[in-house]
Amino acid sequence: MNDRARDEELDRRDGLRLTPRVRTIALSLLCSAVLVALPAFAGAPIIVGTTDTMTLALFVLSLNLLVGYAGMISMGHAAFLATGGYVAGLVSKYLGVSMLVAMPAGVLAATLLALVIGFFSIRVTHAYFIMLTLAFGQLVYTIFWKWSSVTGGDDGLIGFAPPQLLEGNVAYYYFTLLVVGVCVFALYRLCRSPFGRMLAAIRDNPDRATSIGVNVRAMKLSAFVIAGLFAAVAGALEAFFHRGMFVNSAHVITSADALVILLLGGRRWFAGPIAGAILYKVLFITIPHFTVYWLFYLGLVILAVALFMPEGVAGVGQLLKRRLADGTPRA
Amino acid sequence: MIQLQIVSGLVSAAILFLVASGLTLIFGVCHILNLAHGAFFMLAGFLAFTIASRFADSAAGFWLALAFAPLALAALGALVEVALFRRLYRADILLQVLPTIAIVYLIGDAVRFFWGLEPLRVRTPAGLDAPIAIFGALFPAYYAVIIAVAAAVAGGIWWIVFRTDWGLLIRAIAQDRDMAAALGADVGRIFTSVFALGIWLAGVGGVLSSPIGGANLGTDMDIVVEAFAVVVVGGLGSVGGSAVAAILIGMLKGFGILVYPQFALAFVFALMALILVVRPTGLFGAKE
Amino acid sequence: MLRNLLLNVLLGTGLLVGAGVATAQPIKIGVISADSGAWALYGGAGKKGAVLAAEEINAHGGVLGRKLELITGDNKSRPDEASRLFRDMVAGGAEVVVGIVGTGEIQAASTLAREQKVPLLIAFGYGRFLTEEAGHRYFFRLMSNSRAYYGPMVDRIIQGGYTRYCTISNDFAFGRDLVANVMDDLKKRNPKGELVSGCEFWVPVNATDFTTYITAILAQKPQLLMFGGIVGNSLPAFMSQSSQFGLFKQIAGAHPSLGWPGNNAGVKEADIPKKTIISGSDYPYPPVDTPESKAFHSAYTKRWSEGPMSESAHAYATMYFIKAAFEKAGKVDREAFVDAAEGLGFVHPSLGKLTVRPFDHQSNAGVWVGYFGWAKDYNRPGMEDITYVPGDRYLPSEEEVKALRTKK
């Protein structure tokens, strides 16, 4: 809120008509234009990589609803990504329905799971919340692994694919762009709404929030369920793109990767996860070209960011924006 | 043959206790969820391999490894604490957890770089691999050593925490660090020493378990997840709780395979979740 | 006349230059390997085998006058990365792709291979369904699948007259498959034998503490322990603990892939009981005594300063197979490649002369069976008393494969 008032103050002083809202819309339109035009000038590797990055960004955006806006650090968010993908795949494979029916089925299943897990998880906070979500997440992972007669276990689940029209790299890219775009827009509106502001209030001072009449439990549970829902969409998109669903999508390492991306991108801004996902994917794809010890270098990057750039890329972006806006270094 | 299951369970419990007690101390005092705890455990096994090989796999080599590897790791832990976590104590929990994940990656690839990909075997100290009979059941004498060392360490920690001034300081800081600082405690130094002690414990566990399990990549994630289950059940911050929980879960593993072999792992996570839902502070943890 | 001569010279030069440009165009082969993550040991070895083969082939004139160019990628032991790399390599011009990754990851690539009609040949991944239910025109496996290597072991178990068995295995798809198939087979062919009740143990992957299991097994007093599902990090730990308990002094053992160099790395000589554990290997140590095998072993050791593993030999054979198939087809074309590859024979460094069955694209590769032992001259675990058992007898017939592929 302070930021917005300050921006408006600065804009008025400089005589610019460029309010933050207009800036956001302009930036979004620019990005959308680039993404829509991408297949025209980029090769297959970039198209494929961008498809994966979009689903990843959606997954991390959903997590940020919990981490950034509600202040709840979940180490089990991969459970919903995986459930979305697995159920969508299972429904498509065994019931023979088209992807357009299977995906919502997957999302529904994951949302219900989020309701159950969330109900128990939101009762605890801080380190206990981290541990509980980790435990539930690993429980879900173990079930996917063990129930191999249904899920294929560590061999994975295959035998389903998008409809022929969407089989090609470019076609599926546009499909992903459409679905992710709609979800990002929905999340953005949600975060900007009174719901989002109330979540932030709960994050910053839960007792105060209760005293002004906010139903903290209901809000937290809603955030948890909505986060699970969007994670499941990402999971379903990923499953059909890769023509398969594999247990590593449910493992705690996937949840940890998402948290790393939040750190890299910055969780205090809506677009942070998007920046983080892009940066992470670039590192993830390019470092292995030079060395098999890519995890080592990723670890160094994480440490550097945590120590020197804790607000992530988006944080650096905001800092630059401020310096450009008033021309004097900010205190 | 129940004696065999009991001894097996106790051996698992001993190793779990060593790892979990360090983890719970680090959380209780420094409030850090050290996801890298297993990585130090794993590194200890590889160090033990190298030290033991230097001494031609003799018994002396193993005892030297047990003496020095945990100390070396404790020094490394102290370094990490000073260089890294010291700066992050006022930061929020995400900024404290993610660097521990980074350390897992760093240690994992460093181990691969220095020791390669193949699993390595550490010899049981000579003279201790002969089986001994207890209550009519045969098991290697070394297993008794593990249990004895773990018990001795447990006793030592109890004495340190409850009978020394340093222990008093630790408990004070765990309860309220700002108050303790206001009363003159050098919180920074205490944090470093507690962190180092926690890592030392993981190191002892790692060296002790290496003749049984060898030194392998991938141990880091497996052991840390189990250790967290023990810590949660026992109560975050309670060393005594870790001991009880370690025995509980160790026995569960020991007997569980006879009853429900396929679900052992899921059982542990379910128990962890159950405790966190019903009684988050665990069996012996302090109220939040 | 001078003008004609000039034209001829120009034309000739043009043709020569054109041919030179054409021969300069390399044939791109994609190689997806797991260089990091859980399968790094196997992926790395396989990639080295593929690179060695490509270098040799190029040194001897390439394929159809063109050099081989490998497009390599590390899938980090992750299925989604295998999928992405496959797409990238095909888009980058790879004619065929070689996969040296785990079974799950192969599945991801295999579906794409069928969709995009790009041949995928694998050098790792023994799940039999890959060439049975999930097999298709563009999928090839030149090494054995699990059927061909547990089959001979079952024969040995029956020959040995064992009637009481226990099993222990890591709990993952491969282990489950193996135990189920072996027990099924034994039950059918050895009705007098039985799995001791309650003596079937499942251990988490990478688990290294076997005391409880070993004591439980000893208590049941079986005659044989089938522990073929214990692999990876679990194996050396299991061998060391079983030696501490003297397990194999009291009972016999069977493990079909214990002779695999990748599996037994880390097992110490002191932990290997003499001639007690029935085992198999597709790349035994000491290396098989044939000219091809010796040549491969010395070339590989010289190039990489380490001994080859099974995956090295498989990938090496696969690259030469690719060369042979393109040469038989006469052109670098995927459909022609597939047609040429069906029924094509090739030589594998340790398994000898093999053929690729045309109806399922699985080779008839077999396995060397013998006892798990110590290869003194190479200072590593190996095999003793080995005999080669071809795979043909154990693989499903054409009708069976057809039935498996049509039912869903």
pLDDT of B187 reads: 82
Read off the DSSP letter of residue A153: G
Chain A residues within 8 A of B109 when measuring between CB atoms: 293, 295-296, 299
Q: Which residue do the tokens 């001829």 mark?
A: C8
Shortest distance, CA C117 to any CA of chain A (angstroms): 13
Tell me the per-residue pLDDT of B149-199, one tens digit each, with 9 for 90 and over.
999 999 999 999 889 988 888 888 888 777 777 877 788 888 999 999 999
A-chain residues within 8 Å CB-CB of C76? 288, 294
Chain A contact for B229 (CB, 8 A cutoff)? yes
Measured CB to CB, residues of chain A less than 8 Å from chain C are 43-45, 48-49, 52, 145-146, 148, 152-156, 158-159, 161, 167, 169, 238, 241-244, 246-249, 288, 292-295
What secondary structure letter does DSSP report for A67?
I
Assigned token pair, C306: 């380490």
Q: Please state, in angstroms and as integers, the Cα–Cα distance from residue A129 to each residue in A61, A73, A284, following that order.
A: 19, 7, 29
Give the pTM: 0.90
Q: Which residues of C touch A51 (CB under 8 A)?
A: none
Q: Is A222 exposed, middle or buried (0-12, 13-18, 19+ CB in 10 A)?
A: buried
| ipTM exceeding the 0.85 mark | yes
**Domain-located, residue A330:** no
Q: How many C-beta neighbours within 10 Å does residue C23 have?
A: 13
Q: Of C88, C104, C111, which is closest to A246 when you measure between CB atoms?
A: C104
User: Which chains touch C (3+ CB pairs under 8 A)?
Assistant: A, B
Q: How many contiguous H segments (helices) and E segments (strands) does chain C have?
A: 14, 14
CA–CA min distance A307, chain C (Å):
27
Q: What is the pLDDT of residues A243-302, one digit of tens each?
A: 999 999 999 999 999 999 999 999 999 999 999 999 999 999 999 999 999 999 999 999
Question: At A122, phi and psi to the nearest 5?
Answer: -70, -5
What average pLDDT does this structure show over A205-223?
88
Topology, domain B2-278: ABC transporter involved in vitamin B12 uptake, BtuC (1.10.3470)
Separation CA C355–CA B102 (nearest Å): 48
Nearest-CA distance C204 → chain A (Å): 11
From the list A308, A237, A235, A316, the residue with the least C-alpha distance to A275 is A316
Q: H-type helices in C164-223, by residue range?
A: 173-189, 211-220
Report the distance separating Cα A22 and Cα A20, nearest Å: 5
Count of CB atoms within 10 A of residue C356's CB? 22
- Identify from A302, A305, A309 which residue to disrupt to test chain B contact, counting B C-beta atoms within 10 A and taking the largest count: A302
pLDDT reported for residue B288:
37
Question: In sequence order, what E strands does C230-298 have?
Answer: 252-255, 277-281
| Per-residue pLDDT at A14 | 57
The tens digit of pLDDT for each residue in C163-172 reads 999 999 998 8
Euclidean distance between CA atoms C285 and C273, whole angstroms: 17
Query: What is the bridge-based pairing of β-strands C380-389 and A157-158?
Result: unpaired
CB contacts, 8 Å: A146 with chain C:
171
Q: How near does any CA of chain A get to the CA of C25, in Å? A: 21
Interface of B with C (CB under 8 A): 1, 4-5, 7-9, 11-12, 112, 117-121, 123-124, 129, 131, 137-140, 142-143, 209, 211-214, 216-219, 222, 253-254, 257-258, 261-262, 264-265
In a domain, A35, yes or no: no
Q: Which residue of B has its CA nearest to C39?
A: B117
B91 interfaces chain A, CB cutoff of 8 Å:
yes
- For residue C286, whether the previous peptide bond is cis, meaning omega lies within 30 degrees of 0, is yes
pLDDT of A105 higher than 70: yes
**Residue C382 β-bridge partners:** C373
**8 Å CB contact of B93 and A135:** no
Q: In Å, how far is B201's CA from the nearest CA of chain A?
A: 22
What pLDDT shows up at residue A329? 52
Domain boundaries, chain B: 2-278
List the pLDDT tens digit at each of the 288 positions of chain B: 677 778 888 888 999 999 999 999 999 899 899 999 999 999 999 999 999 988 887 788 899 999 999 999 999 999 999 999 999 988 888 999 999 999 999 999 999 999 999 889 888 887 777 777 766 667 778 888 999 999 999 999 999 988 998 888 888 888 877 777 787 778 888 899 999 999 999 999 999 999 888 899 988 988 998 899 999 999 888 889 999 999 998 888 777 766 666 666 778 888 889 988 888 888 887 643
Query: What angle separates helix B264-278 from helix B219-234, to the nearest 10 degrees?
Result: 40
At B61, which amino acid appears? G
The CA dihedral of C120, C126, C129, C132, to the nearest 10 degrees, is 70
The chains in contact with chain B, meaning 3 or more Cβ pairs closer than 8 Å, are A, C
Contact B216 C200 (CB under 8 A): no
| C-alpha–C-alpha distance, residues A246 and A151, integer Å | 9
Integer Cα distance of C328 and A250 in angstroms: 46
Give the E-state strand segments of C204-321 in sequence order. Answer: 224-229, 252-255, 277-281
pLDDT at C128: 85
Do the Cβ atoms of C216 and B1 come within 8 Å? yes
For each of chain C's 408 residues, which pLDDT tens digit applies?
Answer: 566 666 555 555 555 554 544 456 999 999 999 999 888 999 999 999 999 999 999 999 999 999 999 999 999 999 999 999 999 999 999 999 999 998 888 988 999 999 999 999 999 988 888 999 899 999 999 998 888 888 899 999 999 999 999 999 998 888 888 999 999 999 998 888 899 988 999 888 888 878 878 888 988 899 999 999 998 888 988 998 898 888 999 999 999 989 999 889 888 888 899 989 999 999 999 999 999 999 999 999 999 999 999 999 999 999 999 999 999 999 999 999 999 999 999 999 999 999 999 999 999 999 999 999 999 999 999 999 999 999 999 999 999 999 998 865
Closest CA to C324 of C117, C83, C121: C121
Question: From CA C114, how far away is CA C361, in angstroms rounded?
Answer: 13
Q: What is the predicted pLDDT for the residue at A10?
A: 64
**B46: number of CA atoms within 13 Å, CB side?**
25
Does domain C9-144+289-365 correspond to CATH entry 3.40.50.2300?
Answer: yes
Q: Which residue of A has its CA nearest to C43?
A: A292
Give how far C316 is from chain A: nearest CA, Å: 22
- Tell me whether residues C236 and B119 touch, CB distance under 8 A: yes
Which subunits count as partners of chain A given 3+ CB pairs below 8 Å? B, C
Suggest the residue from B35, B94, B238, B260 to mutate for an interface test with chain A (most A CBs closer than 10 A).
Answer: B94
**Tokens linked to C70:** 């490998």
What residues in A contact B108, CB-CB < 8 Å? 295-296
Q: pLDDT > 90: what percent of chain A? A: 72
| C147-281+367-394 matches C9-144+289-365 in CATH topology | yes
Closest B-chain CA to C232: B119
Q: Counting Cβ atoms within 10 Å, is residue B259 exposed (0-12), middle (13-18) or buried (19+)?
A: exposed
Domain ranges for chain C, please list them.
9-144+289-365, 147-281+367-394
* A88, C53, C88, C333, C404 from C84: Cα distances, Å: 20, 25, 6, 23, 29
Judge: B257–C265 Cβ closer than 8 Å, yes or no.
no
Q: Which residues pair with C362 in a beta bridge?
A: C141
- Nearest CB among A128, A136, A142 relative to B280 is that of A128
Q: What is the CATH number of the domain that holds A124?
A: 1.10.3470
Query: Comparing C-alpha atoms, which of A237, A245, A252, A75 is closest to residue A148?
Result: A245
Q: Which positions in chain A touch B264 (Cβ < 8 Å)?
A: none
Cβ atoms B129, B142 nearer than 8 A: yes
Please provide the CATH number assigned to the domain covering C147-281+367-394.
3.40.50.2300
Measured CA to CA, the distance from residue A206 to residue A210 in angstroms comes to 6
Whether residue A73 lies within 8 A of chain B, CB to CB, comes out as yes
Give C197: exposed, middle or buried? Use CB within 10 Å, 0-12, 13-18, 19+. Answer: exposed
- Distance from C-alpha of C344 to C-alpha of C327, rounded to nearest angstrom: 11
Is the CB of C244 less than 8 angstroms away from the CB of B217? no
How many domains in chain A?
Answer: 1
Residue A140 falls inside a structural domain: yes
How far away is chain B from the Cα of C329, in angstroms, using its nearest Cα?
40
Minimum distance, in Å, between the CA of residue A154 and any CA atom of chain C:
6
For residue B265, the distance in angstroms to the closest alpha carbon of chain C comes to 8
* Residue of chain C minimizing CA distance to B117: C41
Q: The sheet that has C96-100: what strands, in order across it?
A: C68-74, C27-33, C96-100, C120-122, C139-141
3-state DSSP percent of chain A in helix, strand and coil, to 5: 80, 0, 20
Q: Which domain holds residue A209?
A: 42-323
> Which residues from B are below 8 Å from C211, CB to CB?
4, 7-8, 11, 139, 143, 212
Work out whether strand C27-33 and strand C96-100 pair parallel, antiparallel, or are unpaired.
parallel
Q: CB–CB of A246 and C108 under 8 A? A: yes
Q: CB-based contact (8 Å) between C307 and chain B? A: no
pLDDT in tens, A18-48: 677 788 888 889 999 999 999 999 999 999 9
Contact check, Cβ <8 Å, A153/C35: no
pLDDT for position B138 = 73
Please state, in angstroms and as integers, the Cα–Cα distance from residue A93 to each residue in A90, A102, A179, C256, C350, following that order.
5, 9, 22, 34, 40
Distance between CA atoms of B18 and B202, rounded to whole angstroms?
A: 6
Residue A72 lies in a domain: yes
